[in-house]
Amino acid sequence: MKLKIFIISFIFIFSSILFPAFELGFAGKFGVANSFTDLTGGVFEPRLDLNLQLGYNFHINKSSFRSISLLFDTGIDGRMISLKNDNYKINQLEAGAITTGLALKFIFTPVLNSKIDLVFGLSSGVKFIAIIDDLNIKPNKVPISPYVNLFLEDRIYNINETLAFVYGINIFYEYMIFDKSDINNLFGGYNINQHHSIGAMLSLGIHFGKR
């Protein structure tokens, strides 16, 4: 554990010296998604996410508009692949996905509170659903889910100008792409062509980087 803390601290300090506008954020997210298909109605399912964003901050400093950040967006999540059968029972598979994408953030500092930054952002990319039902199900092709995520964050700088506590809310949409030969494993034999997910998550985390 101490070694991990040392490595993370070293990377942050080294990157901050070489790249003054480098920033890094880590957040845990929890929420719910409504998943539905072209044949079945919506099913609410839990979502958990560990998210890491790192990239570069471009200073603007025009009135309350402080800066723009362009970031690499990655992480892992826990999810369900769910659908209702003809008896209105819900079939569920536990799954996990790996995220890879890009995020764009717009950072503002409210006039009334200089210790808080307000962040609006958008991230988009692809999630690779590599783990399904604890690897008991091995699809012919790994399902992927292109995603779009809109988020609102507050950063609170109580300690110094390089470390902030972050909390926020995310709204996302995903569209799963899968091989038709895998529908028996994924959807219990239903001839599903489209699988959509819309949801919302709350996030808590930390942010490293000069304001």
Domain range holding 116?
23-208
Residue 179: inside a domain, yes or no? yes
Residue 186: inside a domain, yes or no? yes
DSSP-assigned letters across all residues of 81-115: EEEE-TTSPEEEEEEEEEEEEEEEEEEE--TT-TT
CB 123 within 8 A of CB 102: yes
pLDDT tens-place values along the chain, 211 residues long: 556 555 555 555 555 444 558 899 999 999 999 998 888 778 899 999 999 999 999 988 888 898 999 999 999 999 988 777 666 556 778 899 999 999 999 999 887 777 899 999 999 999 999 888 765 667 888 899 999 999 999 999 988 888 999 999 999 999 999 988 888 778 877 788 899 999 999 999 999 988 7
Domain total of the chain: 1
Residue 13: inside a domain, yes or no? no
Residue 151: inside a domain, yes or no? yes
Strands 163-176 vs 65-84: parallel, antiparallel or unpaired: unpaired
Residue 12: inside a domain, yes or no? no
Distance CA 40, CA 32 (A): 18
Output the CA–CA distances (angstroms, integers) from residue 58 to 120, 163, 177, in the order listed.
15, 17, 35
Count of helix runs (H) and strand runs (E) in the chain: 2, 8
Residue 3: inside a domain, yes or no? no
Residue 16: inside a domain, yes or no? no
What ranges in 153-203 are assigned the alpha helix state H? 183-187
Residue 178: inside a domain, yes or no? yes
